[in-house]
Amino acid sequence: MSNATTAHSVVEPSSTSKRIAGFIVILYAVITMVPLAWIFLTSIKSPPDSISYPPKIVFQPTLEGYCNLFTTRTRQTPEYIQSLGPPTSTCDEITRSRNMVIAGPSNYWPRFTNSMVIAFGSTFLAVFLGTLAAYGFSRFRVPLADDLLFFILSTRMMPPIAVAIPIYLMYRELGLSDTALGMILLYTAVNVSLAVWLLKGFIDEIPREYEEAAMIDGYTRLQAFRKVVLPQATTGIAATAIFCLIFAWNEYAFAVLLTSGTAQTAPPFIPTIIGEGGMDWPAVAAGTTIFLVPILVFTILLRKQLLRGITFGAVRK
Amino acid sequence: MAEVSLQNISKTFGDTEAVRNLTLTIRDGEFVVLLGPTGAGKTTTLRLIAGLEKPDKGRVTIGGQDMAASAPASRDVAFVFQQYSLYPHLTVYENLAFPLRSPARRLSREEIDRRVRDVARMVRIDHKLENRSTRLSGGEMQRVAIGRALVRKPSIYLMDEPLSSLDAKLRGELRLELKRIQSELGSTLLYVTHDQIEAMTMADRIGILNEGELVQLGTPREIYSNPVNLHVAARLGQPHINLIPEGLVPGGQPPRGTKTIGARTEHIEIHAGNGTANAEIDWIEHLGDQSHLHMRIGGHKLVTLANPYVPVMPGDKITLMLKNPLYFGADGQRLV
């Protein structure tokens, strides 16, 4: 340890290079985080502040954006508003100060719920099917295995939206348009190829002696798979789940095309939030901020597995 | 415990014939060691008995019952693998309990606990039961692996070079322990190795495999002193048996057709050089209690064990004589 920081150490970088590296990392972090910070700051600005030029860095924060996101409002005369009782909530108060009253909840919450159901549902299905298929490819002599794997991968070789028109027509015929089931199946179909390939790599790394030992110890193959293979594949499964979830959560093009009402997800909904006299930017920013939360929480929860998953092969023996 | 028998088993992988027409019976309570070089079909034989491979031809019976249609789980065998033997996500205790917790068995929690602790004591790992299985030394891991097999009372224990990944000292200790446990339990055990010392010290009978065929089966004594051919003779003995052409060294009565003579230490007499000297000491390796004498005779090299106090030096002329050596014909078969 004593010579770890000497000038000629080959394992320890010099303090200059560490400083340069640190500067680059911080710069990169700032550049990538500025848009996120901007969105969050916009979400707590008032509508006039959000479009003022030059942009305001210092401003009076308000929850107006969040109120506008979750409610629909109607304009009323000051006399009518005077005639109402005292405001029942913060949002009520903010709304009245703009000469409006809350008419009811907005569609944001149902759209957000749709996003949750569709993204998590398709992620679960894709990982579930992907794990089974990957195990099959990894362990059995599947006829034409290489061709099948190539075929599975080939579904990712063009942008999914390239097949939008056929899928649109097909979904219309099948009655899957604007249904959560339709969106789950679609995202699963896109994600399952990624899942199979990623997971096959992970499962290939698990020596088959473990399952053979379990099968001799009195377990069937499926039980051995559950008791021995799955626990060892958690890293890969977690990493795969995050990739699938991020795709399904953020997907915009298909969502715009195939959903309009009951099954609409949050991404196509957020841009449609329109306030009086143009876009209600604080509400849009509030919607985006809240939209980021689930994926952030999920990623933080699985952070350890994800990191190991990304670097896997480098660290596993 | 039960008798396990293989009848005319053949198994081919692609172009390679891993096992050819193998017939072998392991008697109840017997310790049989399969000895052979890499690729001789030893592991395949174990896997065929365990049901991890299906034979192309032939029958496997355990306790008289044909196993052709039985899954590995229902064959009632225990297997110790060469490596990767422990489940890395489980503790030592959970590893040992794993076979007992199988849905096929349904034992009570107390019964499982009792048997796990008994076995842990037997393989001397009871102080590490709560450790992660990946946090053990090589010897401890292998003891747990053996314990996981012993925790059940199967018809037969199958062990695939269980000691090969250990260092020499541990290997020696575990060898003794394994033999002790086997004789205490009276277990039927089929053990695969390429280590002749393990085979000689532990086996009731040794089977010599070569290129998928069982060449000879017999007690360690028989295999050592009565090898059926050159291959078997070369498997056992330290130093390696000396194979010399007929007529090179005087002594013995080679039968007609002898091509090669196999001479171990006990087949070679050395006399200090006088007028009849026919060989020369090349080199002496001192092992402490013994010495390896390297000798040269007519362009051939021989190695033999010798008392370290024999008064010879490299370069000394000596007289070599054969004493009841082994005779082999041109086809490598033994001639008597």
Angle at CA B306, nearest 5°, toward B302 and B309?
135
Helix ranges, chain A (H): 15-43, 47-50, 64-70, 78-83, 90-97, 108-139, 145-154, 164-174, 180-204, 209-216, 221-224, 230-232, 234-250, 253-258, 266-269, 281-301, 303-310
Q: Searching chain B, which residue's CA lies closest to the CA of residue A224?
A: B102
Please give the structure tokens belonging to residue B312: 């010879």
Q: Searching chain A, which residue's CA lies closest to the CA of residue B150?
A: A217
Where do the domains of chain B lie? 4-228, 242-335
A25-41 b/e with 16+ CB inside 10 Å = b?
eeeeeeeeeeeeeebeb
CA distance B232 to A190: 60
pLDDT tens per residue across span A199-220: 999 999 888 888 999 999 989 9
Collapsed DSSP state (helix, strand, coil) of residue B137: coil
> A315 falls in which pLDDT band (50, 70, 90)?
very low
Please give the structure tokens belonging to residue A170: 């097909």
**Residue located via tokens 């109402």:** A84
Instruction: Tell me the count of A-B CB pairs closer than 8 A.
Output: 58
Partners of B78 on chain A (C-beta within 8 Å) are 216-217
Partners of A305 on chain B (C-beta within 8 Å) are none
> A311 falls in which pLDDT band (50, 70, 90)?
low
Mark yes or no for CB contact A215/B75 under 8 Å. no
d(CA A218, nearest CA chain B) in Å: 4
Position A66 scores a pLDDT of 92
Distances (CA, A) of A274 to A73, A159, A292, B141: 12, 30, 20, 66
Q: Is the pLDDT of residue A183 over 90?
A: yes
End-to-end CA distance of chain B: 39
Position A44 scores a pLDDT of 93
Which of B44, B70, B76, B98 has the highest number of chain A CBs within 10 A, making it the mutation to test binding with A?
B98
Mark yes or no for CB contact B79/A212 under 8 Å. yes
Average pLDDT on A132-154 reads 91
CA distance A264 to A114: 7
d(CA A313, nearest CA chain B) in Å: 18
Q: Where in chain A is the domain with CATH 1.10.3720.10?
A: 109-268+279-310
Cis peptide before B314 (omega within 30 of 0): no
Mark yes or no for CB contact B73/A220 under 8 Å. yes
Partners of A220 on chain B (C-beta within 8 Å) are 71, 73
d(CA B87, nearest CA chain A) in Å: 7
> A266 falls in which pLDDT band (50, 70, 90)?
very high
Q: Is the pLDDT of residue A308 over 70?
A: no
End-to-end CA distance of chain A: 26
Among the partner-chain residues B51, B83, B98, the one whose CB lies closest to the CB of A217 is B98
pLDDT tens per residue across span A207-254: 888 899 999 998 999 999 999 999 888 888 998 999 899 999 999 989
Q: What is the CATH number of domain B242-335?
A: 2.40.50.140
Position B157 scores a pLDDT of 93
Partners of B71 on chain A (C-beta within 8 Å) are 215, 220
d(CA B142, nearest CA chain A) in Å: 14
B31-35 and B205-210 strand pairing: parallel
Q: Searching chain B, which residue's CA lies closest to the CA of residue A206?
A: B84
d(CA A121, nearest CA chain B) in Å: 28
Among the partner-chain residues B81, B87, B99, the one whose CB lies closest to the CB of A218 is B99
Q: What is the mean pLDDT of chain A?
A: 87
> A7 falls in which pLDDT band (50, 70, 90)?
low
Q: Searching chain A, which residue's CA lies closest to the CA of residue B82?
A: A209
Mark yes or no for CB contact A214/B83 under 8 Å. no
Cis peptide before A54 (omega within 30 of 0): yes
> A24 falls in which pLDDT band (50, 70, 90)?
very high
Binding-site residues on chain B for chain A (CB distance < 8 A): 50-52, 71-73, 75, 77-79, 81, 83-85, 87-89, 98-99, 102-105, 148, 152
Q: Is the pLDDT of residue A31 over 90?
A: yes
pLDDT digit string (tens) for chain B, length 336 residues: 688 999 999 999 988 889 999 999 999 999 999 998 888 889 999 999 999 999 999 999 998 888 888 888 888 899 998 876 788 889 999 999 999 998 878 889 999 999 999 989 888 888 989 988 888 888 888 889 988 998 988 889 999 998 887 788 888 888 888 898 888 888 899 999 988 889 999 999 999 999 889 999 999 999 999 999 999 998 888 888 999 888 888 887 888 888 899 999 889 888 876 667 888 888 999 888 889 999 998 888 999 998 888 788 888 888 888 888 999 988 888 987
Mark yes or no for CB contact A218/B81 under 8 Å. no
Q: Is the pLDDT of residue A317 over 60?
A: no
Position A95 scores a pLDDT of 87
Average pLDDT on A10-15 reads 79
pLDDT tens per residue across span A91-139: 888 888 888 888 889 899 999 999 999 999 999 999 999 999 999 999 9
Partners of B84 on chain A (C-beta within 8 Å) are 207, 209-210
Position A74 scores a pLDDT of 87
Mark yes or no for CB contact B89/A223 under 8 Å. no
Among the partner-chain residues B83, B89, B102, the one whose CB lies closest to the CB of A218 is B102
Q: Is the pTM of this model over 0.80?
A: no
Mark yes or no for CB contact A215/B104 under 8 Å. no
Binding-site residues on chain A for chain B (CB distance < 8 A): 207, 209-210, 212-220, 223, 227-228, 231-232
What's domain B4-228's superfamily in CATH? P-loop containing nucleotide triphosphate hydrolases (3.40.50.300)
Which of A216, A225, A235 has the highest number of chain B CBs within 10 A, making it the mutation to test binding with B?
A216
> A162 falls in which pLDDT band (50, 70, 90)?
confident
Which of B75, B89, B116, B142 has the highest number of chain A CBs within 10 A, making it the mutation to test binding with A?
B89
CA distance A71 to A105: 4
State the fold for domain A109-268+279-310.
MetI-like fold (1.10.3720)
Partners of B75 on chain A (C-beta within 8 Å) are 216
Determine contact, residues B230/B198, Cβ cutoff 8 Å.
Answer: no
Mark yes or no for CB contact A213/B85 under 8 Å. yes
Determine contact, residues A253/A161, Cβ cutoff 8 Å.
Answer: yes
Position A9 scores a pLDDT of 63
Total Cβ atoms within 10 A of residue A231: 14
